[in-house]
Amino acid sequence: MCAEVLERLTVLDPTCGEGAFLLAAQRLITELLDGVPDSRANPMPPNDGRGGVSPPVCGPGYQPGHSPGDGWAEEPCAGGDSPQGASGLYGVDLSAAVLEVCRERLGGAARLHHGNAVDDRVAWLRAFPEVFERGGFDIILGNPPFLEARQVAFTLPPGHRTVHGACLERCRELLQPAGRLGLVMPLALVATRRLAPARERLEAERSTWYANFAWRPAGLFPDVNRPITLLLAGPRQAAPRTYTTGYRKWTAATRPLLLPTLAYVAAPRLPGVPWVPKLGDPLEPEILRKLLGVPERLGEVLSTTGARRIWYRTTGGLYWKVFTDFAPEFSSAGVASASSRQTSVGVAADVPVEAVIAALSSHIYWWWYSLTSTCRDNNPADLAGFPVPGRALADPELARLGREYLDGIAAGSRRLVREQRQTGHTVTQSFVIRRSKPVLDAIGRVLATHYGFTDAEAECIECYDIKFRLGATAR
């Protein structure tokens, strides 16, 4: 990138806090400028605007505006010399005290505003008129608070129930047409209906890249026990596309390899679907196409009533989802009861329960669940939306294998004793599913024939996430 572009960049963190992102941007811009002695000797390379597996640096028609002067009346900068190339930094935060820390860290190099990131665009125009004279910010980055509407004292814009969703919407409106966006977001961005509208409005204008990270065995950030999506968006274009990674898992020892091995796969845009598939292998788009081509959904044979039932846990199960045709044993303080995490669903009278359990216990369901869900809760909608060919549920071999699987996990189960703060002494029937992998592999081979998978596709599903599902930490 040429020096002229760097010197004129406007970079915003709309929820800047103590300025970690702005400080990183300041350092990077300064380092890049140190390596570019003559801006006019290093023109920007042209960009065809078609997107790619790596977010481009400069889009077509990119014309960064001049950075404003130091005398911003509302929040004047503190003293100190601005490093070269750092004068186009902007930050907003609700906390005046935190902004003071940010100002000190940046040495007075940023224009800081005490305000609310989700305020309407008019408020932003008043705060930073010089930026919007040239169409908006060149780069917006940050980590908006992961907060629900009920957790804050201010009113969110209409249609929003989360602060991070409202921030995403505002960022889209504040970017100039050739601008870039980079946000740390919860994985819910690519897996829930309530964040889908804001995400889809962004996707309608710009190509997007979603990098998806698990929270176990290791987390992306210290003390953040939730899955994360890193969102990138490019300049506006006529035919934007979507790229995504798989649901990345790692151990602390392999963290240095996490970002260098990041690879994106082109993902289909699916009208009416609230999720972006978390694809990590070039074979997976075709596997997904075959599943979506199945006309039946498992919900067609499930019901809230009925004596023939399937029991499962709505939460927990980081590596396996357990389904049984009996209520697992549970007691609290010596009294037999049912775990609050356990629920059940009925099965149609003409469908073998064992075949349904085989399908839900299969590697294919685990793959589908990992691609389409929040990867935390196993909701009734996750089960109901699973594409399963009707002929597969009618296959007697699938039902036979389902029965073999159920008998095996019941025989190998154990009692897990815990002392918990809220429930006290509990005893839970626990299942070691990885010991049943041979029968699960056989179930997968039967289902693969009904889905029409190639041998390579069937192997891809069988091996999906297997390192962690069979490792010492998998339960």
| SS3 sequence of 27-72 | HHHHHHHHCCCCHHHCCCCCCCCCCCCCCCCCCCCCCCCCCCCCCC
176 and 224 within one domain? yes
Q: Where are the beta strands (DSSP E) in 187-281?
A: 206-213, 228-236, 242-248, 265-267
In the Cβ-directed half-sphere of 105, how many Cα atoms lie within 13 Å? Answer: 21
Q: What is the pLDDT along the chain (475 residues), one digit of tens a residue?
A: 578 888 899 999 999 999 999 999 999 999 998 886 443 333 333 333 333 344 433 333 333 332 222 222 233 333 333 333 346 999 999 999 999 999 999 988 899 999 999 998 899 999 999 999 999 999 999 999 999 999 999 999 999 999 999 999 999 999 999 999 999 999 999 999 999 999 999 999 999 999 999 999 999 998 889 999 999 999 999 999 999 999 999 999 999 999 999 999 999 999 999 999 999 999 999 999 999 999 999 999 999 988 999 999 999 888 999 999 999 999 998 899 888 889 999 999 999 999 999 999 999 999 999 999 999 999 999 999 999 999 999 999 999 999 999 999 999 999 999 998 877 899 999 999 999 999 999 999 999 999 999 999 999 999 999 999 998 444 4
Does a structural domain hold residue 285?
A: no
22 plus 112 within the same structural domain: yes
442 shares a domain with 374: yes
Residue 220's identity, in one-letter code, is L
Residues 250, 309 share a domain: no
Q: What is the DSSP letter of 162?
A: B
Do 251 and 341 fall within a single domain? no
Number of domains in the chain: 2
Same domain, 258 and 298: no
276 & 294 share domain: no
DSSP state, 252?
G
Residues 218 and 311 in one domain: no
- Both 250 and 301 in a single domain? no
Is 221 in contact with 228 (CB distance < 8 Å)? yes
Answer with the one of 214, 248, 280 that is the final residue of a domain: 280
* Tokens 């990041």 -> residue: 262
Residue 13 forms part of a structural domain: yes
210 and 125, same domain (yes or no): yes
The number of residues making up the chain comes to 475
**Residue 475 lies inside a defined structural domain of this protein:** no
**Residue 192: φ, ψ to 5°:** -135, 150
CA distances from 451 to 282, 294, 295, 438 (A): 18, 8, 11, 20
Residue where a domain stops, chosen among 262, 280, 298: 280
Q: Give the domain CATH number at 198.
A: 3.40.50.150
Contact 213, 375 (CB under 8 A): no
Domain that holds residue 349: 290-469
CA distances 408 to 71, 440, 448, 472, 474, Å, are: 73, 11, 22, 20, 18
Q: In angstroms, what is the C-alpha Rg of the chain?
A: 26
**Domain boundary residue among 236, 256, 280?**
280
Q: Label residue 6 exposed, middle or buried (CB < 10 Å: 0-12, 13-18, 19+).
A: buried
Establish if 474 belongs to a structural domain: no
pTM for this prediction = 0.88
Residues 61 and 121 in one domain: yes
Which residue type sits at 46? Answer: P
